[in-house]
Amino acid sequence: MTIIAPSILSSDFSRLGEEVARIQDAGADWCHIDVMDGQFVPNLTFGAPVVKSLRKRTEMFFDCHLMVENPENYVDSFAAAGADLICVHAEATHHLHRLLQSIHSKGIQAGVALNPATPLCQIEEILPYADMILIMSVNPGFGGQKFIPTSVDKIRRLKQMIRERDLKTLIEVDGGVNGETAKACREAGADVLVAGSFVFGAADMQEAVAALR
């Protein structure tokens, strides 16, 4: 069963709590939280205090995607704020193994994200230590971009790497996911689909979540 994780990046920030309730009511499984620092990506969003406030309003699984430099500096605050999974970019740290250990030491799940230009060999050694690999299917920083088609083959090759090693690592895809691209991603082996504009731009959110599944 595919996990559907709407990104609140495309939501109305003035009513964030209600927007999270709305994705839950629409049948979504996870809440994808895009954290941007204006350094790793050319945009700013929100930090741990926002996650902490939202945590008081829902029990939903918080999938925190950190698009930040020096992600090691944010593990404590996001874990304390109520993140269920912290996903860091392989490009943003020199010590990925140590970072995943530090996330796990908080009793939460750890993911590793790869930009479109970053090859899979970057995570070959870390694969047994990651709960999830996030394949970026757009260049991170903004919602509403077009899906990069070569991402499908990247998902397929990653699925094969995971199978060969007999691992249970989840594959998440993020960027330009809609009813059509979702199908290709699922068939290639994706387990978790992130969608921002497709879900929040839909007239019927429940229908949009169902279309992704």
Site for ligand DX5 contains 6 (CB under 6 A): no
| Three-class SS state of 148 | coil
- Measured from the CB of residue 10, what is the shortest distance to ligand DX5 in angstroms? 6
65 labeled part of a ligand binding site: yes
Neighbours of 25 (CB within 10 A): 11
Helix (H) or strand (E) holding 159: helix 151-164
10, 53, 102, 118: which one binds ligand DX5 (CB under 6 A): 10
Give me the phi and psi of 43, to 5 degrees please: -160, 160
143 labeled part of a ligand binding site: yes
Site for Zn ion contains 22 (CB under 5 A): no
* Straight-line distance from the first to the last Cα atom of the chain, in angstroms, rounded to the nearest whole number: 8
Q: Residue 196 touches which of Zn ion, ligand DX5, none (CB < 5 to 8 A by kind)?
A: ligand DX5
| Closest C-alpha among 147, 138, 181, 112 to residue 43 | 138
State which residue, 65 or 166, has the beta carbon closest to ligand DX5: 65
22, 65, 89, 154: which one binds Zn ion (CB under 5 A): 65
Interface map 189-208 toward ligand DX5 (x if CB under 6 A): -----xxxxx----------
| Closest C-alpha among 208, 210, 169 to residue 191 | 169
Is 37 known to be catalytic? no
Catalytic residue (one of 37, 63, 174, 191):
174
Site for Zn ion contains 34 (CB under 5 A): yes
| Three-class SS state of 152 | helix
Site for ligand DX5 contains 144 (CB under 6 A): yes
Going edge to edge, which strands form the sheet with 3-6? 3-6, 192-195, 170-174, 132-136, 109-114, 85-89, 61-67, 30-36
Site for ligand DX5 contains 71 (CB under 6 A): no
Is 174 known to be catalytic? yes
Task: Pull the structure tokens for residue 65.
Answer: 């995607």
Give the interface with ligand DX5 as residue ranges (CB under 6 A).
7, 9-10, 32, 34, 65, 138, 140-145, 174-177, 194-198
Binding residues: 7, 32, 34, 65, 141-144, 174-176, 196-197
